[in-house]
Amino acid sequence: MFGWTVRTATQAASVPGRVLDLLTAAETVVARANELVDRTDKVITDAEGAVTHAEKVTKAAEEQVEAIRPLIRFVEEFSTHEMDAAIRLVDELPRLTAHITDDVLPILATLDRVGPDIHDLLDVANDVRQAILGIPGFNYLRRRGEDKEEDRNEKDTKDED
C-alpha cells in the first residue's frame, strides 16, 4: 500500500506540471489555429479578388465574341479564292487611294464644267448632220449605202443557213 500511495502521491504531484504542459500545448495549438485562420482569410480574400477579376475578363471576352460574331459569319462565307483576292485588294488599297485622290477626284471636281461643253458638242454634231443632209444627192448616196447593207445582211443570213 505504501507503494501505491507513493505512486499516487507522485502522480498527484506531477499533475500540475502535466496540466501546465497541457495548457502550454493547448496555447500553441490555439496560436497555430489563429495563424491558420488568418492565412485562410487572406487566401479567401485573394480568391474573391481573383474571381471578381475573372468575371470582368469573362464579360469582356463575351462582349468581344459577340462583337466579332457577324465578322466570323461573314468570313465563313469566303472561299479560299475569294480570301486571296480580298488580301490582294487590301494590299492594293494604298495605291488605289493615291490614284483616287490624285486622279479621279480632280476629274470629278471638273464635271460641272463638262456638261455645257458636251451640250455644245452635241449642238455642233447636229448642225453638221443637218448640213450633210442638205448636200444635194446625199439621200441617193444614203439609200445606196442602205441597199448594200441590206444585201450584205441577206448574204450573211444565207451563209448561216
pLDDT score of 160:
66
The answer to whether position 15 is within a domain reads yes
Residues 8 and 39 in one domain: yes
Domain interval for residue 101: 79-109
pLDDT score of 161:
60
Residues 56 and 72 in one domain: yes
Residues 105 and 153 in one domain: no
Residues 131 and 97 in one domain: no
Q: How far is CA 132 from the centre of its chain?
A: 64
pLDDT score of 108:
83
The answer to whether position 28 is within a domain reads yes
Q: Which residues of the chain have pLDDT under 50?
A: none
CA pair distance 47, 40, nearest whole angstrom: 10
pLDDT score of 159:
67
The answer to whether position 115 is within a domain reads no
DSSP H helical segments within 77-110, as ranges? Answer: 80-99, 105-109
Residues 41 and 105 in one domain: no
Residues 71 and 137 in one domain: no
Residues 159 and 139 in one domain: yes
Residues 25 and 45 in one domain: yes
> Are 19 and 26 in contact, with CB atoms under 8 Å apart?
no
The answer to whether position 147 is within a domain reads yes
Residue with cell 479564292: 81
Residues 59 and 131 in one domain: no
Residue with cell 480574400: 45
Q: H or E stretch including 102?
A: none
The answer to whether position 114 is within a domain reads no
pLDDT score of 17:
75
The answer to whether position 154 is within a domain reads yes
Q: How many domains does the chain have?
A: 3
